[in-house]
Amino acid sequence: MVQMELTITILLFLVGIVLIVKGGDFFVDAATWIAEVSGIPKVIIGATVVSLATTLPEMIVSVIAAVDGKVDMAVGNAIGSVTANIGLIMAISLIFMPSVINRKDYVPKSILMFCASLVIVVSGRTGNIGLFISTVLLVLFVLFLVENIRSTQNSMNKNTAALKAAENTAVLPKVDTEKSVVITNIVKFVVGAAGIVIGANLLVNNGSELARHIGISERIIGVTLVAVGTSLPELVTTITAIIKKQSSLSIGNILGANIIDLTLILPVSMAFARKPLPIAASSAALDFPACLLVGCIAVIPMIITSKFKRWQGFALLAVYIAYLILTCTA
């Protein structure tokens, strides 16, 4: 009987991950189309709508967990997703695709991610994520949006000549607004949003049950299985980037996702919970420093040398594996 319950719990947990990943995919496509139809400039769509939509799964999971009183899982998912993004997903990218980069494209976001990680470590010292810490994180989030819009605008300005040529020939791309396309995108938006919410509920509830069956804390489930599960879209993007040999696509996506995870998810979760989020001693002692450590390994050498090197990938993977071992055995 117990074995059957555990099997059902694991299956529902996996169904939750699938719903979140596929629902997120539908939601991003539909949200982007709706923004374009609404006349929102592409620079704003790329810098804000897409970035926020891709982070919605982690957001919903943490908010539901926080409202249900599963604060360790809520915090663990947010911080664990960042650690997994860098220690696992960016590690894979750097191992297979070390690269020379234009430092100015990455330094602002790297600094913002480092500052956000530092604020999280400080919150561990205070014992909770309250109004002050949340305000600081939200300020960093606004700075990220401003930087995202600035960098995207600069990138678009480099193609001014091509844009003018397109205007002169009057062959400008238009958003398809045929009835069938409208219906398809509305359905994708609704189904995607529903998939994320239902999947998040399955992930949180069955993650909690899984922790009870195995005899471990909700925090461990949050920073491992839930965090990696909600980071699968970033993993898919990284694998695609490796196949297409586009390292900037992978690393840029990871940095942006991490900043949103660190600066937005926990303040929003606190707002929905209507009270400060208490920080477990184990999170303050292990999860938060690990997040800061992998961030430093990822960005500091890049800032100094203007290169992402293969050794960083191996170092990140080694630190992440060591972190998982410590987390599961402590």
| DSSP, residue by residue, 136-185 | HHHHHHHHHHHHHHHHHHHHHHTTHHHHHHHHHTT--------HHHHHHH
pLDDT at 161 over 60: no
Paired residues of 307 in beta bridges: 100
Using DSSP, state whether 307 is helix, strand or coil. Answer: strand
Helix 247-260, helix 232-244: angle, nearest 10: 160
Give 243-292 pLDDT, tens digit per residue: 777 666 667 778 888 899 899 999 999 999 999 999 989 889 999 999 99
For residues 210 and 270, what is the distance between their CA atoms, to the nearest angstrom? 25
pLDDT-derived band at 294, boundaries 50, 70, 90: very high
pLDDT at residue 191, as a whole number: 86
Q: What is the pTM of this model?
A: 0.81
| Token pair in block for residue 70 | 């599963």
For the CA atoms of 164, 165, 170, 175, what is the dihedral angle to 10 degrees?
-70
pLDDT at residue 311, as a whole number: 94
Which residue type does 314 have? F
Report which secondary-structure segment, H or E, holds 7. Answer: helix 2-37
pLDDT-derived band at 307, boundaries 50, 70, 90: confident
Residues 6 or more apart whose CB falls under 8 angstroms from that of 179 comprise: none
Q: Which domains does the chain have, with CATH numbers?
A: 2-158+179-329 (1.20.1420.30)
207 or 89, greater pLDDT = 89
pLDDT-derived band at 51, boundaries 50, 70, 90: low
198 or 171, greater pLDDT = 198
pLDDT-derived band at 49, boundaries 50, 70, 90: low
pLDDT at residue 109, as a whole number: 86
pLDDT at 171 over 50: no
What pairing do the DSSP bridges indicate for beta strands 307-308 and 99-100?
antiparallel
Looking from the CA of 63 toward its CB, the CA atoms found within 13 Å total 18
For residues 299 and 114, what is the distance between their CA atoms, to the nearest angstrom? 8
CA distances from 58 to 26, 73, 267, 271 (A): 15, 11, 13, 16
**Can you tell me the mean pLDDT for 95-104?**
78
Cβ atoms of 290 and 83 closer than 8 Å: yes
